[in-house]
Chains A and B, each alone.
Chain A
């Protein structure tokens, strides 16, 4: 701590000039710390996945360099060797590079928090720095934001610790990530995150570019608060403690420029197509900004890019927004649109590709159709295969022939269960182990029904895990939220659901009552307490109770019951629960309400109408319902055609007749 204090003081003393001279630094986190891209990222770290035939990390580095960053620290964890190899080979590590890249690897990073704590521990940053992920694609000029940030820090004495870069884009914009649907409250004048001042703005039209300009304090704050894991934790912590600690977060909103983070395949799809459509200019495919041999390509009308040595068969069409890598050959009569095809691919005849993302060394046979899917390196698609939307073929998978993969299929050479086993070691990337697990998976046979007769690979199912988080982690393509159902007003909606939950609770209570043989008095007590908990009127209690009891057989044994089975199981139940009913059905009006509930249910279950008489009879015999009430209900209750129809039921008429006679008799006897 003392050393840090000293450093800060020194920092304050240093003259402005010196500050200016200090090189701009950046921290690039080349790990996502989540498993969204599994199983693809099992073989290749996310930062190295090709987007427009260039690794994503190259976009991020190019962006940093173009904004004037002179020193970048790349933090890797998962498969750090691969990233390191890639970077060492790239132009960033050449001596001429204006941006000095330091690679820092550790297997112990588990979150952004760990990385920043390490930044603090190693004292890497001396001044304001830019914090980005290795999967951010952007061409935003942040120098303006940087200037504002510095100005604020000069004026407000280091109060502002972070400036986050946002891009304006309306809700529903393609490159808005549904999971990252931010709503920001800001002070429009000072561009500060805030609420509670006299006037503020709530904005839903901002896209988080995941680029932030941080002051050195940020790393310190992460050290001080060891529970900060992500940037969201940090932002929340700062905002909550704003009044105590006095730190503020500002935002910088850009109208032009492009910035997005490839956080799931949906985003991958949209960022890739934006790139091909030249929204990220000057980062375009033909620019070959990575300065690699043979990566150059030509750009022609309708955004069609062709690499070197591309051969195109007779009658093949490249409609628009197509990028084809070098040494790729395409057969005859193909139809390609909005797609990216990597290097060294071979594509057969009569192939239809739309929104396909094919990486390197992919072999596609003839008569294949691919829609909005990702095909990774070395995958082979045999004849007459159809990939529906949002399919993923991971590395070296073989599919087909003659197969149609349903929407959202994920095929990988790694067995999904294998993955669960070495769960704990996932961060300890060890090539050996990967090889080892491969050996194990080989022992298990591929399922020809899933991947085709000659296929190789295992289907990864969107696992039905219990927690929502894990489900998210498994969902490659990301959430696709349905447009808001426009619930009218929350309170009204919740009221309805309250009835529903009450009904479920009553059902649960009765079920338990049966299983554990609880006395009816106690059931009544429980239902009463539920009534107060959900604020339900007595009348509704009775209606719901009636409904629950009458539906009970369906609930337990399915809706396919015959009428006979239904009555067979219901009548004993009625007998067991008759004290419960008697407790609620006391006044004349209660009887009528109960009867109308019975009627309503049998109107819905019109195949079982014959059972109604038996139910009524039983209820009458159990003295739940009185005969006057039944007679009254029968004579007056009919309000619409259906209920009139119901009353014409023969059995019911007989029952009523019998009731009337019985009444006459009893009255006669009375006389």
Chain B
């Protein structure tokens, strides 16, 4: 076994609380499959047989009990639960399973939906005997209108500056705008070794990392690092160009650790031969001078930047909607589940998905939408550009456009919902009730919504109180 796969599925989805209020992020339906299915499928496609899944108790329970989130994978899942309230970062989680890590690891986040060729990342890892290799992609502009978001999407997120060498593979520099005081500072010693550096912004980190086992051991020794993306990766990138000689003690020790671990691997993997070849060969990874390959550095970080293809991190509402729109393209299953009961006198676009045991009545029209499992759609309903999760009931004559309706919601007769987010277990029930565009209708917002709509004299009542 060359690589062990680790799936991080304990995140709370803090950037899309409206959706994850009732459903944990890994189990959010995307194209009628739980989100976690996508990375699992990605791993299965490239031949992994076993995955360590780090998740919460809640998710574990739901996976084992809830039939709606059945994971359709043949791999052996090794579920490791961590406490939800412990506020553990990804690096903490990796440290948590250190005992299980026997070889190098491939860490994937549960919110990654991609059709990337995984071998590109792993090949970089292999070819350069890298410490870290990761996947990045060009950032996508989300074109769909997002419920509850007025105007254009704020560019609130701070940009990441990523520096790669002339070949675009070696990761030389990484900084977030937030950490920069005045401009980007790049050390000249790096420039001397890598005279051409492309600085890129507008890249998305896919949160897919190949890491040497020694890095996991290093984590075990350094409890202060809690996040892979936030701390570990920048640290490794920085460490590529520093010598251990004049670093302070703590880092010195870690370096020794790294080296020690390297040595352990040397014996286990014939790396002595590898070193010998490196010594003897005239190959090096740069041009212009005759110094050793990699300038004698032992730590190497690489990145594969996808130029095209799908790569989404479903961590915001906008990304969630976009992912749902694209999901049907990712796998070829019948758009309409065999067990769904669909009336012949309705119109279902080719780009829509109808989940299992749905009931779609006459004269409905469904375009560019996803209809979840066990959803009932009554007569004369028009659904466009929307995501309907599981167990939703939509009564007669509704018009739903550009909205997200969460699980078990009931949409009353004749409702007109445009660009809304309807929370799970909500009820929008009244004849001809109308919900104005761009409103979030969730439990947390309900009170507010009530007031607003009373004021605008649109009746909206009989809220169904839900136990948490």
| Residues of chain A having any CB pair with chain B under 8 Å | 169-173, 183, 185, 188, 198-205, 483-484, 486-490, 492-493
Residues B191 and A171 in contact, CB atoms below 8 Å apart: yes
A605 to chain B, nearest CB (A): 25
Q: Contacts A204-B191, A486-B189 given; indicate if A172 touches B288 (C-beta within 8 A).
A: yes
- Chain B residues with CB under 8 Å of A488's CB are 242-243, 246-247, 251
**Roughly how many angstroms separate A616 CA and B241 CA in the complex, as a whole number?**
47
- Chain B residues with CB under 8 Å of A493's CB are 246
**Contact mask for chain B residues 446-461; partner A; CB cutoff 8 A; 1 contact, 0 none:** 0000000000000000
Interface residue count for B (Cβ, 8 Å)? 28
In the complex, which of the residues B198, B238, B246 contacts A487, with contact meaning CB atoms closer than 8 Å?
Answer: B246
- Chain A residues with CB under 8 Å of B199's CB are 185, 199-202
- Chain A residues with CB under 8 Å of B154's CB are none
* CB-CB nearest 6 A-B residue pairs: A170-B288, A205-B195, A204-B191, A204-B195, A484-B189, A488-B242
Residues B289 and A199 in contact, CB atoms below 8 Å apart: no
- Chain B residues with CB under 8 Å of A483's CB are 192
- Chain B residues with CB under 8 Å of A200's CB are 198-199
- Chain B residues with CB under 8 Å of A487's CB are 246
**Roughly how many angstroms separate A532 CA and B148 CA in the complex, as a whole number?**
49
Number of A-B contacts (CB under 8 A): 75
Residues A201 and B289 in contact, CB atoms below 8 Å apart: no
**Roughly how many angstroms separate A368 CA and B468 CA in the complex, as a whole number?**
98
- Chain A residues with CB under 8 Å of B246's CB are 486-488, 493
B151 within 8 A of A: no
Which residues of chain B from 143 to 194 have any CB-CB distance to chain A below 8 Å in the complex? 163, 185-189, 191-192, 194
Name the residue on B nearest A183 (C-beta): B191
Residues A201 and B247 in contact, CB atoms below 8 Å apart: no
B102 within 8 A of A: no
In the complex, which of the residues B191, B242, B248 contacts A202, with contact meaning CB atoms closer than 8 Å?
Answer: B191
Kindly name the residue among B189, B192, B197, B242 whose own CB sees the greatest number of chain A CB atoms within 10 A: B192
Which residues of chain B from 180 to 220 have any CB-CB distance to chain A below 8 Å in the complex? 185-189, 191-192, 194-202
Name the residue on A nearest B200 (C-beta): A199
- Chain A residues with CB under 8 Å of B191's CB are 171, 183, 202, 204
Interface of B is mostly: loop
B287 within 8 A of A: yes
**Roughly how many angstroms separate A528 CA and B241 CA in the complex, as a whole number?**
38
A498 to chain B, nearest CB (A): 14
Residues A171 and B192 in contact, CB atoms below 8 Å apart: yes
Residues A484 and B188 in contact, CB atoms below 8 Å apart: yes
- Chain A residues with CB under 8 Å of B197's CB are 201-204
Residues A205 and B196 in contact, CB atoms below 8 Å apart: yes
Interface of A is mostly: loop
**Roughly how many angstroms separate A489 CA and B188 CA in the complex, as a whole number?**
12
Residues B198 and A170 in contact, CB atoms below 8 Å apart: no
A195 to chain B, nearest CB (A): 8
18 extra A-B contacts, CB within 8 A, seeds A188-B198, A204-B192, A488-B247: A169-B288, A170-B195, A171-B191, A172-B192, A172-B289, A183-B191, A199-B198, A201-B196, A202-B186, A202-B198, A204-B197, A205-B288, A484-B192, A486-B241, A486-B242, A489-B238, A489-B247, A492-B247
Kindly name the residue among A203, A483, A488 whose own CB sees the greatest number of chain B CB atoms within 10 A: A488
**Roughly how many angstroms separate A78 CA and B288 CA in the complex, as a whole number?**
39
**Roughly how many angstroms separate A202 CA and B185 CA in the complex, as a whole number?**
12
- Chain A residues with CB under 8 Å of B192's CB are 171-172, 204, 483-484
**Roughly how many angstroms separate A483 CA and B238 CA in the complex, as a whole number?**
20
Name the residue on B nearest A493 (C-beta): B246
**Roughly how many angstroms separate A169 CA and B196 CA in the complex, as a whole number?**
11
**Roughly how many angstroms separate A170 CA and B287 CA in the complex, as a whole number?**
8
Interchain Cβ contacts under 8 Å between A and B, 8 examples: A170-B287, A201-B198, A202-B191, A202-B198, A203-B197, A483-B192, A486-B189, A488-B247
- Chain A residues with CB under 8 Å of B186's CB are 202
**Roughly how many angstroms separate A486 CA and B295 CA in the complex, as a whole number?**
13
B327 to chain A, nearest CB (A): 28
**Roughly how many angstroms separate A659 CA and B198 CA in the complex, as a whole number?**
69
- Chain B residues with CB under 8 Å of A185's CB are 199
**Roughly how many angstroms separate A172 CA and B287 CA in the complex, as a whole number?**
11
In the complex, which of the residues A173, A199, A203, A486 contacts B196, with contact meaning CB atoms closer than 8 Å?
Answer: A203
- Chain A residues with CB under 8 Å of B243's CB are 486, 488
Name the residue on A nearest B194 (C-beta): A204
B361 to chain A, nearest CB (A): 49
**Roughly how many angstroms separate A554 CA and B243 CA in the complex, as a whole number?**
35
In the complex, which of the residues A169, A188, A492 contacts B248, with contact meaning CB atoms closer than 8 Å?
Answer: A492
Name the residue on B nearest A185 (C-beta): B199
B76 to chain A, nearest CB (A): 42
B68 to chain A, nearest CB (A): 42
**Roughly how many angstroms separate A483 CA and B196 CA in the complex, as a whole number?**
18
Name the residue on A nearest B139 (C-beta): A198
**Roughly how many angstroms separate A156 CA and B115 CA in the complex, as a whole number?**
41
B42 to chain A, nearest CB (A): 28
**Roughly how many angstroms separate A142 CA and B433 CA in the complex, as a whole number?**
73
B166 to chain A, nearest CB (A): 9
**Roughly how many angstroms separate A483 CA and B251 CA in the complex, as a whole number?**
24
**Roughly how many angstroms separate A146 CA and B289 CA in the complex, as a whole number?**
31
A535 to chain B, nearest CB (A): 16
**Roughly how many angstroms separate A170 CA and B166 CA in the complex, as a whole number?**
13
Name the residue on A nearest B241 (C-beta): A486
Residues A203 and B195 in contact, CB atoms below 8 Å apart: yes
A29 to chain B, nearest CB (A): 29
- Chain B residues with CB under 8 Å of A172's CB are 192, 288-289
